[in-house]
Each structure stands twice: as C-alpha cells, then as structure tokens.
Amino acid sequence: MLKFGRCLSAVTLVLAALSGCADMPLGNTSSYAPAGKNLPPSAPGGTREWSGEGGASGHPAMTADAIRAAAADFPNCIARYGHDAARRGVSQQAYASLTRDLTPDLRIMDLIDAQPEFTKAFWEYLDTLVSEARISRGREMLAQHKQVFDAAERSYGVDRYTIAAIWGVESNYGTQGGERPVLRSTATLACVGRRQPFFKEEFLSTVEILNRGDVKPDRMIGSWAGAFGPTQFMPTTFKRFAVDFDGDGHRDTVDSIADVVASTANLLKANGWVPGQTWGYEVAVPQRFDYLLADRAKQLTINEWSRLGLRRADGQPFAHGSDRAFLLVPAGARGPAFLILPNFRAVMKYNPSEAYALAITHLADRMRGGGPFVQAWPRDERVLTRDERLELQQHLARRGLDVGEADGRLGPASRSAIMKFQVASGLPPDGFASASLLDRLRTQ
C-alpha cells in the first residue's frame, strides 16, 4: 500500500474571497489568518487562545457572552448529539470513547468571523500557486506514482494532471500540515458560534469516519473548519466521495496515495468532469469587442465565439467548434481572456473561486508541458482594499444599481453593476473594479 506523510493545510480561503465566497467552508477550507491582524499570544504547544472578543459578524451567537455560555454548555451539547450518532450506527460506548476528552477550541471563534483585508491581485495568486518549483515537483509525483494515476484515470476518466494540481495547491504535495484535530474543530463549531446547524453534520460525519476506522484520530488533523487530507476534503465530502482504491478495507484520504488520487477523481467526476475535454482556452479578444458578452450566463459555441473575432492566444486552432463556453476576463479588458468549458466549472465546484480554478487548470497544463499564458496581466493596476471595494459598492448603490450585499466582496451582482456603470460612462464594460473606476465614481 502506498503511503505518505502528513499534509493537510489548504491555501484557498483567500482565493474564494475573490469570488465573494470567503465565508463558506468547502471541500478545501483554509485555516487562513489575515496578515497584520492582532492575535493573542500562543498558548503552550503553539495553539493560540481565544481573544475573548465577540465576532465581527454581529450574529447573536457570536457575542462574547454567547460564546462563553455555549462553551460552558459544551459537554451537554456533545451529549445531546450522541442520540444523532446512535441513529447513524455509532454505539453509545464508541461515541463516549471518541468524545469524552473533548473541549472546545474557542480560538476558532476568532477565525470564523475574521475579516481579512484581501489585497492581492488575481495574477499574484497565480504567480504563487503556479511556480516552477510546484510544476517540477508535480511532475516528479506523477512519475513516482504513475501506476496509481494510470489506474485512477482509467476508472474515473479524470485528467491526472488536474488531480496532481489540486494536490499541489492544497498541500504543496505533503509539505504543509494542519494543526487542529478535526473532531475537536467540528465539535466546537457544532456547539459554539453562528454556524452550528452546518457543522453539526460535519461533526457527526467525523464521528462516523472515526468509528469506521477509515482514518485514525491522530491522523485526522486539518484546518479550523475541519478540512483534512492532501486534497482537503470536508468530512461530509469524504463520506460522499472517498473510495478505497488500494483495497485495504479503509477509505484513507490521509495516508494512502491511491485513495487520495481516486477519491479526488471521483469528486471531480461527480462535479461534471468531461473525459477527454480541456478546461478552456486563453483567447485574444478583438478591439471594440462587446464585453457585455463576458458573462457566465452567456454561453456560445466555440464556432460562434470565433465568428465574433476571438482567436486562441497561442495561434493554435480550437479543437471542437461545437463545444459551448463562456468568456472570462478576470482582470478586465487589459488582461488575458479565457473561453471556459465544463471542466473548469467542475473545478470551481471544488472551490467556487475563478482564481483557484484558473490556478489548478493552468498548473495542470504546465505539468503536461504547456507554456505560460501568452498575454500579460495588468500588473500596474493597484488592487483595491476591502474598504475601497465597499466604497465602490456604496457609490454604485447610490446610483440605483444592484450590488447585492455591500460587504466589500465583489460577487456577480457587483460585477453586473460595474458593467452597467461602465456602459453609461462610455467605458469598456469588462466588470473590472480598478482604482481609476473608483476615482471616476467619486467625482462623477
């Protein structure tokens, strides 16, 4: 059986924030702590203590008094969940054995409501995640475990390079480790704070996994939200998609490379992966192009995009003219553009961030021998701070434009509002929130 060492931390909560999803625990939720935030000193063993302050969300369950009260009731909360565990086939004795020493990790309360200042540009994340070192190491891992990747690709039809890229981005091929026991983290979140209904299911799923013996308790270590393993499955994701690919009787997505690779392939297949199809194409957009067509809801065939003047940036022909795609311009009219096919969307179901999906798919292409993107990113653009993005939304809303929730995260509604303002101002409606656009909103 193929084994490898502990590799558990994710890097993608910040990336999810680029798509307005930073608050959503996913299959690969990160233990990201914002740079520059004043954190309390570390407790013995390196684990920081709770600050003692209420959460920034203002949720009634996130006041300091509510957190203290829930923490005091923690043993009773865990006892109450024992009835739910019993209905899932976990004996009273087994449940008591797993939970008797649990205490709440209240430091998580500072993390769940953290309001990080996202100031990195799209291209800066790609620079970090699609590095020469990660490309080289990925090729080594593909060669070292070729038989496993061969078998998984035959069984699930999912591109091996994409699986390796997820492994590389999520845990840097096993060199980055989580620090929190998943059982304790999910138990804390199931009994304390504002997302108890969501995390109750994650906690009970963790109990089921440990009761089955798929993963040992001392190996089920991960992020503050409970994501664990090299490709950062949440416990509920594990329950649905983990497979015993090495045939040892356990679905081990921590220490079995065969199970990790096949389980990740199984998840992508369930997410709609199309065997034999690429994720998309970098394309050159003609001058005076109508950027209102750059919309996920506006899917055209490759042939139709070609008739509108789009060409592959590397000069190569498109493979299948009947494939349907949408146009993505993540850095606006001055940056690269991409025609996006279903396999990109399958990766986005793993993590709903365009930056994440582009990093995964581009890293996969680089591993297989492809080159860097042809077109340059607008690296001279200053990235807006969260406060500036909030101000931008407020200016748009005052003009009667729907931005969704004005929270400093630019989701689809805010992009649509930006495009409408750009049209009214005679600008290319690319939906890109630039510093010059904010200046125009301030003065116009």
Q: What is the pLDDT of residues 89-119, one digit of tens each?
A: 999 999 999 999 999 999 999 999 876 665 6
Q: What is the per-residue pLDDT for 329?
A: 96
β-sheet bridge partners, residue 327: 339
The band of 4, judged by pLDDT with boundaries at 50, 70 and 90, is very low
CA angle 181, 184, 189 (to 5 degrees): 125
pTM for the structure as a whole = 0.87
Q: What is the per-residue pLDDT for 115?
A: 60
Cα torsion for 225, 188, 252, 351, to the nearest 10°?
-20
Q: What is the per-residue pLDDT for 116?
A: 60
In sequence order, what are the residues at sequence separation of 6 or more whose Cβ sits closer than 8 angstroms to the Cβ of residue 74? 102, 103, 104, 187, 188, 191, 192
Higher-confidence residue of 35 and 271: namely: 271
Q: Do residues 251 and 29 touch, judged by C-beta distance below 8 A?
A: no
Q: What is the side-by-side order of every strand in the sheet holding 300-301?
A: 300-301, 324-328, 337-340, 280-284, 311-312
CA angle 360, 365, 367 (to 5 degrees): 95
What are the phi and psi torsion angles at 284 (to 5°)? Answer: -95, 130
The band of 48, judged by pLDDT with boundaries at 50, 70 and 90, is confident
**For residue 7, pLDDT beyond 70:** no
Cα torsion for 308, 365, 176, 185, to the nearest 10°?
50
Q: Do residues 118 and 18 touch, judged by C-beta distance below 8 A?
A: yes
Q: What is the per-residue pLDDT for 142?
A: 98
The band of 174, judged by pLDDT with boundaries at 50, 70 and 90, is confident
What fold, for 280-367?
Lysozyme (1.10.530)
Domain residue spans of the chain: 13-35+48-270, 280-367, 386-443
Q: What is the per-residue pLDDT for 56?
A: 84
